[in-house]
Structure 1
Amino acid sequence: MVMNIRVLTPDRVICSTTADEVVLPGLTGQVGVLDGHAALITALDTGLLRIKSNEKWTPIILCGGLAEIDQNQVTVLVNDVEELTKIELSEATKELEKATLEVENAETSKARLDASVELKKASARLEAINYLS
């Protein structure tokens, strides 16, 4: 049996499909979801959502939100998603290095928090490239 997954932002439906497996970026780590998963509502961090269907992974970069899992229905409500454009591995690696330096050099709590979010996005981009190649 397969699961139904929907990814929604406040203004649009990102995807509505079936999946064999879903991996969510939870606040305390990754949350793996398989057929028959127990009912759960969890907060999501900025990171990579992965959807496995027909032995192929589809990555989506999420920018925080919530997920509800109930009776093989996975509903992901997020603030925003980052579109996966054609990005080269070398470029993504440079962005990750730059984001890491920004976190290390942040002088205020707000700057550190903003830099941390960018670091999570850069890390998710790099991970997404690995799934796309």
Structure 2
Amino acid sequence: MSLIDQLKDHMKQAMIAKEKARLSTIRMALAAIKQIEVDTRESLNDEQVIAVLTKMVKQRRDSIAQYEAAGRSELAAAEAEEIQVIETFLPTPLSEAEIAAFIDAAIVEIGASSMADMGKVMGALKPKVQGRADMGAIGAMIRAKLQ
């Protein structure tokens, strides 16, 4: 079952269970996916859907930081709830050891030896860890290894 089909199935379940917050979050995710499909005029595969969902989680984390800085804890809590719903559709996150293993393998595969090769390493890693790890944290780990 594709990720879009899973989202639609969970949307129906949320409707039946009358879970308004979950339903609105899933609808928001499906709308974002549909918007990209309309813009690009092609159907998204699971990897592309994961990229959309990952972007949505990142946006919500940024919003939480801004809401907390402004003292709006109720809005931050609502965003955190949306993150929890979205993350149920993302693959399980990688541990630091797994990320380090991926980085080491990519460095060896590419033959990276300096910071000039960082973009190549990031490019090789992105499809493998998309939605399973924060690319910002991975960038910092790569920098530490290439220096």
Query: Whose Rg is larger?
Result: 2
Structure number having the greater strand percentage: 1
TM normalised by structure 2 equals 0.31
TM normalised by structure 1 equals 0.33
